[in-house]
Structure 1
Amino acid sequence: MTSIFDQYEQASHLSQKPAPASEQMTSSGYINMQLEDNTPLFSKQRMNFNPSDLITHVAVASDYLVLAMGNGKLFRMDLKVPDQQEEIQYSKNVQPNSKLTSIFLDPLGQHLLLAFAARNKDGNPELVYLHRKSNKLKSVSKSRNYEVTEVGWNWENKSTTTTGPILLGTSQGHILEMELEAESDKMFTASQQYWRQIFDIGKGSDTPITGIQFHRVNKTSKYFIFVTTPTRLYQFIGHAMISDDKPSLQSIFHSYLTTPETGFQEIPSTLKYSKLQFYFDKSNNPKSFTWLTEPGIFYGQLDPTSQQNSNSLFTQSELINYPSHEGDGKETTPLSFVLTEFHALLMYSDRVKGISLLNQELVYEDRYNSEVHGKLKNIVKDPARNTIWAVTDKAVFRYKVNKEERNVWRIYSEKEQFDLAKLYCQNNPAYIDIINVKQADILFKKGDYEKSAAIFAETQSSFETICLKFLEIDQINALKVYLAKRLESLSDDDKTLISMIVIWMTELYLSQLASLRRLGKGDSQEYHQIQSDLEVFLLQPKVVQCMQHVKSIVYDLMSSYGDKQNLIKLTVINEDYENVVAQHIYKKSYQEALDMLQSLKKPDLFYQFAPVLMEETPKNTVNALISQGAKLSPSKLLPAFLSCENDAIHASEITRYLEFMMQNFNVKDKAIHNYLLTLYVETDKEALLRYLARQGQDVTMVNYDVHYALRLCREKGVPEACVTLSALLGLWEAALELALQVDISLAKTVSAMPDDVALQKRLWLGVAEHVITKNQDIKEAMNLLEECSLIKIEDILPFFSDVTTIDHFSEPICQSLEEYNNQIEELKLEMEDATKSAECVRSEIQSFRNRSALVSVTDVCCVCDIALLLRPFYLFPCSHRFHTDCLLAHAQPLLPPSRRNKLADLQRQLAVLSNIELSTVTSSGLPFREVLRNEIDDIIASECMLCGEHMISCIDRPFISDEDWDKVMKEWE
């Protein structure tokens, strides 16, 4: 239960709070609300133990607490195990005339140094070492002439048995380097490795050292050392000699022994003490430092890697004044303090105050009741755990830091350090909005309008208000920046606002470009930059998507500004080429329309505008069509061609295009060929005949409709083409009739075309009849007999009149009779050969009637080697013998599929049909059973399977198949 005194102390706590956030958010779009955490920045808790005497000194490190008490005892406790406490008498191990001045505990909480000073002239100062696991104190030799006032521990030391190289500061200003190591694992008594004086800050005068810190820079050999006296802060920077991962710090001071004192910060003070504190980041690197002096706290940021000033490690520093102190005013300087990331806790004899290092405001005050707890003796910080401990004469208190960074963002914002403010605002959107509004307002007042606009776009400020701010001062570029940023932040669902911004920004760009053109700056760098920005803007995905809905408005805008170039570019971006091409055609700029179509590579637009362009400029249009090649389909251009005027110019250009496509891309579309054929019929008969000749005489291979072509040629009176087309359709008589009307040589050509000899002879006879009956020209008739070997003199004699004398035909008649005589002789020879063959067949049949074969009881089947007479068998003239079932099994796989299926069907009928059905006599006079068996015999026993034609055809096959090879190999093994 909390005592009445503790309750009083809690009521006396003072935690300064900034103004509510709602008062500073009037310009943002967020709802006003309380955003601050009311929890005090620091909270205090008393430790639950009572020391045996008044506390004089305290040290804490790595959750290990050491107290020195007025009765000459040390109190030690592991804070993780608070029940394990011990007290050690230290006064027996030191001289009676010595007094304890300080205790120092290393960051690991393993090594403790106790510094003693002489009470009078007869005494000597002394330094005593105590290990955490030992109860025996060991005096450090060579320390009797030095009163140690400060210890600089080695922060990189991880050993529990050695301190590593450390620095000692004395009351005379000497800096000593030494290392202590435990001699025994059980006793842990100190062994002094070395002891040497490496520097004298006092230069012979007594200048007590009040603080020492040394650290290595980024794992290199470079070190920096901070040393403080009551009035000065010294910086030493240099490279240490490293051996066995242990630095020798003496080399760092070599360069300072012969140079004047320049690397120090001096602050006048009448105090005999000062304090030095470092703050470390999460990587255990020193980030900032504070030096407690009489006028105030000297605070600075550390950057050991900075190359700007090799003589100083400060990146920024300032002197922070102490807060006003209520009371008699005697105690204005703190007795001690500890440093956190953003605050310093100042300890006075009766209170603890917390001040902000950023704005120097008092944020916390905690008063102590001296009658209950005694006066405050010290306040320390555990360097490893970052816990804070305050010690009075009678009690120990622990301070907890509660989100000390909660208001840092506001302080940085007030100091106009906006990047840091955003870093510490914990990603709170309301805080970020406040920071952005303030930053944007400041930039706006400074005249940096574009940066201001970019930041305003990230706030929740009124859209209309911000736009008016820039319009009132005619800052169009800044307005564009603001609109562009807002456009980026909008979601796809905000279609109305997106459309408005896109239209507005487009108009702003067009207005600027038009103004520059009017001023004659159309080729200036500014003009090109704005044009480039417009093109980039139009290519943004969100703008491209919006343009699908507002393109008509934007087109009207561009047209009103006369910006033809951007209008064309926009149509390309939106793939809305139809609008520009139509505009060119409307202005009768046909060549520009064709150039646009060729550059866009959009075939559909060619099909759409080809009718108009073919009508107005056929030659240029055909040139453009030819340049597209196979990208365009001629069949889709047919409507454009058909809509043209039926004159020679248009027909010639269309024919040129169609001939180009056929010759280069092998177009086979029947409609195209029919249309080209129509153009040929109407304009160029010779080209028509050449076209028909190229297409060939195979009706299945031509690409035009033959019937349509024949009908068209008949209508237009092209008999030569009609002859070719009739022959192509197989209308030989009609083709011959037309050819005879045109030219006798054409008729002869038609007669020689058919493959059928009889038809060819009939056509030649028609030619002969035409020639003979027309003029009775016997010489021409004789020439026909020479040209065609199919017709004879006797075939054409009926065509001559009765009055024609035979003398003119004597030679052809004799030749014909001689040929008949030769044919008769050949027939006689063939009859004699047939008679001889018949006699041989009759003799062979007679010999087979008396032939027989003997089957012995010992004969076996050629397949299974079992006695042949045991089962039904087949006997072949070659003397091979097979059981019926063996032959069936062996021959069946060798049969073709059709005969194999037939055999299976016959076997099925024998097995399925009843005896009555099998005994039925067929039309051949045999029972149905015998008919089935005879058909089976015809299939499997038509020839011997060992010496028949099948065996001859299988001569190239191996004896052993691939499937049986493994089996045979095993048998041979």
Structure 2
Amino acid sequence: MFDQYEQASQISQRTAPESEQMTSSGYINMQLEDNTPMFSKQKMNFNPSDVITHVAVSSDFLVLAMANGKLFRLDLKMPDQHEEIHYAKFVQPNSKLSAIFLDPLGYHLLMAFSAKNKDSNPELVYLHRKSSKLKTVSKSRNYEVTEVGWNYENTNLYTTAPILLGTSQGHILETELEADSDKMFTASQQYWRQIFDIGKGNDTPITGIQFHRINKTSKYFIFVTTPKRLYQFIGHATFSDNKPSLQSIFYSYLTTPETGFQDIPSTLKYSKLQFFFDKSNNPKTFAWLTEPGIFYGQLDPTSQQNSNSLITQSELINYPPDKSGSKESTPLSFVLTEFHALLMYSDRVKAVSLLDQELVYEDSCSEVHGKLKNIVKDPVRKTIFAVTDNSVFRYKVNREERNVWRIYSDKEQFDLAKQYCHNNPAYIDIINVKQAELLFSKGDYDRSAEIYAETQSSFETVCLKFLQINKVNALKVYLTKRLEALDDDKTLISMIVIWMTELYLSQLGSLRHLGKGDSQEYHQLQSDFEIFLLQPKVVKCMQHIKSVVYDLMSSHGDRQNLIKLTVINEDFENVIAQNIYKKAYIEALNMLQSLKRPDLFYQFTPVLMEEIPKQTANVLIAQGQILSPSKLLPAFLTCENDELHVTEIIRYLEFMLQNFNVKDRAIHNYLLTLYAEHDQVSLMRYLARQGQELSLVNYDVHYALRLCREKGLSEACVKLSALLGLWESAAELALEVDLTLAKSVADMPDDVSLQRRLWLGIAEHVITKNQDIKEAMSLLEECPLIKIEDILPFFSDVVTIDHFREPICQSLQEYNNQIEELKAEMEEATKSAEYVRNEIQSFRNRSVLISVSDSCCLCSLALLLRPFYLFPCGHRFHSDCLLSEIRPQLAPARRNKLADLQRHLSVLTNIELATITSNGLPLREVLKNEIDDIVANECVFCGEHMISCIDKPFIADEDWDRVMKEWE
């Protein structure tokens, strides 16, 4: 019942604020507040045997000191198992327990005892987690320890590593304690030395001490507190066996006046120092409990601004006023979280925000549990425990950062506020609206517009705010940001694009009207406008509203931007057509050249070629391979057939043929047509370049021949007829043109008989024409294929033989030489036949001896075991081995034939095989002979097959694994 009462008494002091007055419209239905309590308390399910006097917790290990002189130890991971140790019998009877300290590992416990009277001394007792026997630290007899600074980098379970001790006289001691497992976990001191005296001889009790290393360097900082002062010591430690010695940090402070401290007047005899660590276990903030309030600050160990202090921001947080009538104004203890301080009084616990000093939580403690003794925080697990006389309570912190964003927003620290929104869109929108309104009120309109664009505020409302004060630039910033955020709202995108275009055009027009068309301001504005037009969303939107924007630019008389917009929109056809309509052909051609759009060239070249042929041809030549000449043919065909146009067309076509090797037949036929009609010299040069190979020419030869015949171009007809193989026709036509041309045509054919026939035709033409014997003799010298007897019939009967005496004698002499050559060839053939007969006769008498020890060259078994083949080269094979070897090497036809012969030999009966064939041999012998012709045609090692297989591997891929195993 009392526990239920305790839970009901936990109230949150910060009431849920009224709904924010939001100018946005996007998140009005979203719940902005988290109703879950920020702090909640739960009683631990164990009961100590007596009144609790002291508490310490670390790494889920809880230690309680009780009034009956016992220690209560509990592993919070195993709450059902606890241990009680009677510590009073290990200490002096006149000593009083003043404090207990547990290291971050939860393994090393120090118990500080003070003297009750002058006859006793203070004591410091050590207890290891795995031991139940306490051991007095011998050198601590003269020191009353009030605070311990643990080494947070220590990972050894049996030694504390170097630690600092603070005493009631203000002494700072450095020591290291070790639990020796061989001596029943008794403690041993590695060293003990006093390294500093804060009191300078006066009794100044140390109430807090913490030290930490800075970024894993040799540099350390030490915070020490007394009831009235906070000291900072910064310096480099010396290392021995990877253990730091902190004494060197204080060397520089021994000889200098005290300057590195914060002094806060107080009448209290106690204070308390707490640190908060970030996720990397580095100190982030600190808090010091004093009488006036909590001195709170941020820590930055890497800060270089002040080498004597690590505190970057600090303030004094006042204690919340007490409404219950309690006389306690100063907490007895406290713990520090990231954003709050939990203050412990004797009868209640309060949580104060560190950011705005507001009381956010208050919890009253029932008298049934007794007065609150202490509130502590596990430095490792971050859990919080409050201890009363006979109970232990655990405090749970639930999303303490939930309202941090609102506090930072109220402080106008908007970036920090957004960091703690956890991407909650409703919170972010509230922050952005507040930030935008603040910037607007301060006159930072551009930045305000950027922030407004990120909110859900009414579009019309924001636009009117900037229009009322005539801030066009800020309005453009807002519209630009809103445009970037839009995706599918085509209507709003179109409206923004048109509006911004109007704003830019108006500003540019105003500057031109004021004569600032060449100013830096104008050029910058023009550049911004061009960048705006190039945005992908604007380009996409322009496809639907370009007519509206064109009209808008025309109304402003901004022809320059109109042309640029057409380029951006790729609406070039419109501008070029307008220039042609205005007869501004050069401008249209220049724009066409700058665009390098083939489709537009094909569209507008007919008009431009007709009007300005030379300039158009120059531009077409400059485009090179970008344009296809075949697609420009319609433009060329529509031009007037005068000299100027034809010259430019020929110039372009010749350039394309010479530089890009165009082989389109239509282009070549068109060029040949122009040559035939206007330039016959170029025609013959073109035909010569194309060559005399019919398969290599690029024009239609039949079309060219027909065209040249129509134009009466005899010489061209001769070349084309020869190209088509019409040799007689070409030779006859050539004789009409020129004798030399006819002779060249007669030499062209590869067929000797055809050459002879053509030369005879030339000879007949020459002789019948003028009966010139000298010219006839010159033909005999030029062509050795015709003889004197071939041309004699062409002469008239009146010509006497005396005129041909010398050629006839020469011809007879040639015949005589040919006869002698034939005789020599016949004698050589007779000798070769005789040699062959002798060789055949010697083979008949040749024999080879086979030994019993001879083996097959393929299987290496005895040769005489089975039928075999013996080759003249000396290689020998079993018939079946040779058959298996030669079969894969045979062509498919011969392999099939071999299979048929073997099948006949096996299927036919002995009677059928004994049948005598037409050649006088039995059928069996005929089949075996045919099989031998296939199988034993040549030696498999010495024949052509071995030469053809020289590039093949000795071992096939599929046999490689088998061969490797055999070699192993």
Identify if the C-alpha distance between structure 1 residues 206 and 646 changes in structure 2 by more than 3 Å, giving closer, same or farther.
same
Aligned length: 944
Identify if the C-alpha distance between structure 1 residues 101 and 647 changes in structure 2 by more than 3 Å, giving closer, same or farther.
same
- Residue 233 of structure 1, CA deviation: 1.8
Corresponding residue for residue 51 of structure 1: 48
Match of 1:226 among 216, 223, 226: 223
Match of 1:648 among 636, 643, 655: 643
- Residue 962 of structure 1, CA deviation: 9.0
What is the TM-score normalised by the length of structure 2?
0.83
Q: Which amino acid aligns with 1:74?
A: L
Q: Aligned ranges for residues 456-471 of structure 1 at < 5 Å? A: 456-471=452-467
For residues 500 and 635 of structure 1, what CA distance do their matches in structure 2 show? 46
For residues 632 and 188 of structure 2, what CA distance do their matches in structure 1 show? 106
Q: Aligned ranges for residues 494-573 of structure 1 at < 5 Å? A: 494-551=489-546, 553-554=548-549
For residues 886 and 6 of structure 1, what CA distance do their matches in structure 2 show? 105
SS state at 1:641 partner: helix
Once the two structures are superposed, residues 250-277 of structure 1 have per-residue CA deviations (whole angstroms, 9 ceiling, x without a partner) of 3323322333322222222222222222
Q: Tell me, which stretches of 5 or more residues in structure 2 are unaligned?
A: 839-843, 960-968
Corresponding residue for residue 389 of structure 2: 393
SS state at 1:227 partner: strand
SS state at 1:615 partner: helix
SS state at 2:20 partner: helix
Q: Aligned ranges for residues 308-323 of structure 1 at < 5 Å? A: 308-323=305-320
Q: Aligned ranges for residues 466-505 of structure 1 at < 5 Å? A: 466-491=462-487, 493-505=488-500
Corresponding residue for residue 349 of structure 1: 346
Corresponding residue for residue 715 of structure 1: 710
Corresponding residue for residue 418 of structure 2: 422
Q: Conserved in 2, the CA contact under 8 Å of 1:470 and 1:478?
A: yes
Identify if the C-alpha distance between structure 1 residues 894 and 153 changes in structure 2 by more than 3 Å, giving closer, same or farther.
closer
Match of 1:278 among 275, 278, 290: 275
Match of 1:364 among 361, 364, 383: 361
Identify if the C-alpha distance between structure 1 residues 919 and 431 changes in structure 2 by more than 3 Å, giving closer, same or farther.
same
For residues 25 and 521 of structure 1, what CA distance do their matches in structure 2 show? 44
Once the two structures are superposed, residues 30-89 of structure 1 have per-residue CA deviations (whole angstroms, 9 ceiling, x without a partner) of 132323222222211223333333333322233333333333443333333334334444
For residues 535 and 488 of structure 1, what CA distance do their matches in structure 2 show? 16
Q: Which amino acid aligns with 2:449?
A: A
For residues 573 and 702 of structure 1, what CA distance do their matches in structure 2 show? 45
Question: Which range moved further: 646-655 or 909-918?
Answer: 909-918
1:627 and 2:622 equivalent? yes
SS state at 1:14 partner: coil
Q: Which amino acid aligns with 1:110?
A: Y
Instruction: Say what the alpha-carbon RMSD is for the aligned residues.
Output: 5.1
- Residue 232 of structure 1, CA deviation: 2.1
Corresponding residue for residue 333 of structure 2: 336
Q: Conserved in 1, the CA contact under 8 Å of 2:369 and 2:388?
A: yes
Match of 1:433 among 394, 408, 429: 429
Q: Conserved in 2, the CA contact under 8 Å of 1:887 and 1:940?
A: no
Question: Which range moved further: 449-458 or 301-310?
Answer: 449-458
Q: Conserved in 1, the CA contact under 8 Å of 2:30 and 2:426?
A: no
1:607 and 2:599 equivalent? no
Q: Which amino acid aligns with 2:62?
A: L
Identify if the C-alpha distance between structure 1 residues 933 and 904 changes in structure 2 by more than 3 Å, giving closer, same or farther.
farther
Identify if the C-alpha distance between structure 1 residues 646 and 193 changes in structure 2 by more than 3 Å, giving closer, same or farther.
same
For residues 886 and 347 of structure 2, what CA distance do their matches in structure 1 show? 123
SS state at 1:479 partner: helix
Identify if the C-alpha distance between structure 1 residues 918 and 535 changes in structure 2 by more than 3 Å, giving closer, same or farther.
farther
Corresponding residue for residue 293 of structure 1: 290
For residues 768 and 247 of structure 1, what CA distance do their matches in structure 2 show? 122
SS state at 1:150 partner: strand
- Residue 433 of structure 1, CA deviation: 2.1
- Residue 364 of structure 1, CA deviation: 0.9
For residues 928 and 492 of structure 2, what CA distance do their matches in structure 1 show? 93
Q: Conserved in 2, the CA contact under 8 Å of 1:336 and 1:378?
A: yes
Identify if the C-alpha distance between structure 1 residues 675 and 49 changes in structure 2 by more than 3 Å, giving closer, same or farther.
closer
- Residue 380 of structure 1, CA deviation: 1.9
Identify if the C-alpha distance between structure 1 residues 939 and 747 changes in structure 2 by more than 3 Å, giving closer, same or farther.
farther
For residues 275 and 835 of structure 1, what CA distance do their matches in structure 2 show? 135
Q: Which amino acid aligns with 2:406?
A: R
Q: Which amino acid aligns with 1:235?
A: Q
Identify if the C-alpha distance between structure 1 residues 97 and 644 changes in structure 2 by more than 3 Å, giving closer, same or farther.
same
Q: Which amino acid aligns with 1:690?
A: R
For residues 79 and 939 of structure 1, what CA distance do their matches in structure 2 show? 99
Q: Which amino acid aligns with 2:353?
A: S
Corresponding residue for residue 177 of structure 2: 180
Corresponding residue for residue 803 of structure 2: 811
For residues 184 and 902 of structure 1, what CA distance do their matches in structure 2 show? 98
Question: Which range moved further: 675-684 or 438-447?
Answer: 438-447
Identify if the C-alpha distance between structure 1 residues 681 and 330 changes in structure 2 by more than 3 Å, giving closer, same or farther.
same
Match of 1:74 among 66, 71, 88: 71
Corresponding residue for residue 412 of structure 1: 408
Q: Conserved in 2, the CA contact under 8 Å of 1:584 and 1:592?
A: yes
- Residue 646 of structure 1, CA deviation: 0.3
- Residue 527 of structure 1, CA deviation: 4.1
- Residue 365 of structure 1, CA deviation: 1.0
Match of 2:259 among 251, 262, 267: 262
Q: Which amino acid aligns with 1:364?
A: Y
- Residue 363 of structure 1, CA deviation: 1.0
Q: Tell me, which stretches of 5 or more residues in structure 1 are unaligned?
A: 848-852, 877-881, 967-973
Q: Conserved in 1, the CA contact under 8 Å of 2:788 and 2:811?
A: no
- Residue 360 of structure 1, CA deviation: 0.9
For residues 888 and 287 of structure 2, what CA distance do their matches in structure 1 show? 106
Q: Conserved in 2, the CA contact under 8 Å of 1:22 and 1:34?
A: no
- Residue 165 of structure 1, CA deviation: 3.2
For residues 68 and 886 of structure 1, what CA distance do their matches in structure 2 show? 103
What is the TM-score normalised by the length of structure 1?
0.82
For residues 227 and 863 of structure 2, what CA distance do their matches in structure 1 show? 134
For residues 471 and 817 of structure 1, what CA distance do their matches in structure 2 show? 119
1:446 and 2:442 equivalent? yes
Question: Which range moved further: 926-935 or 85-94?
Answer: 926-935
Identify if the C-alpha distance between structure 1 residues 792 and 156 changes in structure 2 by more than 3 Å, giving closer, same or farther.
closer
For residues 147 and 162 of structure 1, what CA distance do their matches in structure 2 show? 22
- Residue 349 of structure 1, CA deviation: 1.8
1:31 and 2:23 equivalent? no
Q: Conserved in 1, the CA contact under 8 Å of 2:863 and 2:878?
A: no
For residues 632 and 326 of structure 1, what CA distance do their matches in structure 2 show? 92
Match of 1:677 among 663, 672, 676: 672
1:241 and 2:238 equivalent? yes
1:377 and 2:381 equivalent? no
Q: Conserved in 2, the CA contact under 8 Å of 1:337 and 1:345?
A: yes
Identify if the C-alpha distance between structure 1 residues 48 and 946 changes in structure 2 by more than 3 Å, giving closer, same or farther.
closer
Q: Which amino acid aligns with 2:418?
A: K
Corresponding residue for residue 970 of structure 1: none
Q: Conserved in 2, the CA contact under 8 Å of 1:109 and 1:132?
A: yes
- Residue 323 of structure 1, CA deviation: 1.2
Q: Conserved in 1, the CA contact under 8 Å of 2:905 and 2:927?
A: no
Q: Which amino acid aligns with 1:624?
A: V
Q: What is the aligned-residue identity percentage?
A: 74
Question: Which range moved further: 294-303 or 755-764?
Answer: 755-764
Identify if the C-alpha distance between structure 1 residues 419 and 931 changes in structure 2 by more than 3 Å, giving closer, same or farther.
same
